[in-house]
Amino acid sequence: MDKKQMSGALVLVVLTVGILFGFSVMGDDALADATKHEVTADGYGGPIHLEVYLQGDEVVDIRVMEQNETEGIGDVAIEEMVAKIMEAQSTEVDVHSGATVSSNAVIAAVNKALGKDSASEDSEEPSASDYQAEGVLAMAPGYGGDIVLDVIMDGDDILDIKVLDHKETEGIGDVAIESMVDKILQAQSADVDVETGATVSSEAVIKAVAEAAGQNVSKSEAPADPAAEYDLETYEPEGVLVSGKGFQDRYDMYLDVIFEGSELVEIRVIQHNETKGFGDGALRVVPERIVNQQTTEVDVQTGATWTSTAIIELVQQAIDEAGIDLTEQEVEEEEGPAPAAGG
């Protein structure tokens, strides 16, 4: 890395740290001659509100005033995008991997302040319907809609798989698609393991490629809903019944936390409305971890942090209400990948 590259990298780090800890890179005195532009663009979780300070065409500061992006994904993307734009003095920067919608929202908002269109007509990519396929066009329903692929074959060899269109969850389903494409190309087969936390998206890629390549693949049976055998209206609790909000504080979740003496023996999911393929997987895995380890200090389920945290907090509430002191158990590390959150 030469001196110029190192200098640029250090600037980016400083800018990102500044945004991360909530202070402005520029002091208020330094902005006295700047023009403030209050701009908004739609992100993944709602509007992203920015204050963009300009001196002529120079972007002297960008302040994030409000955002509701996914914690650990979209919010990190906003921080990085602001730092990139400030360092490059341009909105023509790479989007943050796994958070395209959030990244593009920051770009669009800053472009509004600069009086620019978010994208020119010349830079627009052709839609899937206009695309001239190099191989076999394949489509299968994913979690958010159809996943459209161009599967390029040479005899039985899979040369390339191009993702033309999808509407999968940012940071989860879209990442799974990329991973599945890599797995299939390496294995030269669609009969590969699905991605943890994104079963529906993964199986859609498998189905589309298998049909295009004329391959037969095994299909795993989806796990049952963890609350399938219970009815909240008629259920008689055997332990401490606790309730709270799950994903994004939108949906009610009811758990029956059952004790025998000072031991936590079972956590039953009585009712929930968590997302199929993501949150419902956490409802299977996290309670089991808590019971096995006799503590709420367990790992959250990959791809379902919000739901996992809600479960942990509700179980801790039940423990506190019961006045139980659990004895934490040591458990051996699991071999192989963690259980899938998907269904």
93/244 Cα distance (integer angstroms): 41
One digit per residue, the tens of pLDDT, for the chain of length 343 reads 554 445 455 545 545 545 444 445 555 666 778 888 999 988 877 889 999 999 888 899 999 999 888 777 778 889 889 999 999 999 998 877 667 778 888 999 999 988 876 544 344 444 555 567 788 888 888 877 788 888 999 888 999 898 888 888 777 788 889 888 888 988 898 888 888 767 888 888 998 998 888 877 655 455 567 777 899 999 999 999 999 988 766 778 999 999 999 999 999 999 988 776 566 778 888 888 898 889 999 888 766 788 889 999 999 999 999 998 988 766 543 333 343 333 3
Helices (H), 162-213: 173-187, 199-213
> CB neighbours of 91 closer than 8 A, spacing ≥ 6?
85, 107, 110, 111, 114, 116
> CB neighbours of 337 closer than 8 A, spacing ≥ 6?
193, 196
Q: How far is CA 286 from the centre of its chain?
A: 18
Burial of 30 (0-12, 13-18, 19+ CB in 10 A): middle
Q: Write b or e for each residue in 204-226: b if 16 or more Cβ atoms lie within 10 A of its Cβ, otherwise e.
A: bbbbbbbbbbebeeeeeeeeebb
Find residue 141's DSSP bridge partners. 146
pLDDT given for residue 2 in this prediction: 53
CATH number of the 240-322 domain = 3.90.1010.20
Q: How far is CA 31 from the centre of its chain?
A: 35
Secondary structure letter of residue 8 according to DSSP: H
**What tokens does 145 get?**
């809609």
pLDDT given for residue 267 in this prediction: 94
> CB neighbours of 332 closer than 8 A, spacing ≥ 6?
none
DSSP letter string, 144-161: SSEEEEEEEEETTEEEEE
Q: Which of 288, 332, 340 is nearest to 311 (CA)?
A: 288
**What tokens does 243 get?**
């309730």
Find residue 154's DSSP bridge partners. 157
Helix-strand-coil percent breakdown of the chain, rounded to 5?
35, 20, 45
Query: Angle 74-88/100-114 helices, nearest 10 degrees?
Result: 40
Query: What are the angstrom distances between the C-alpha of 212 and each of 126, 189, 223, 331?
Result: 22, 11, 27, 44
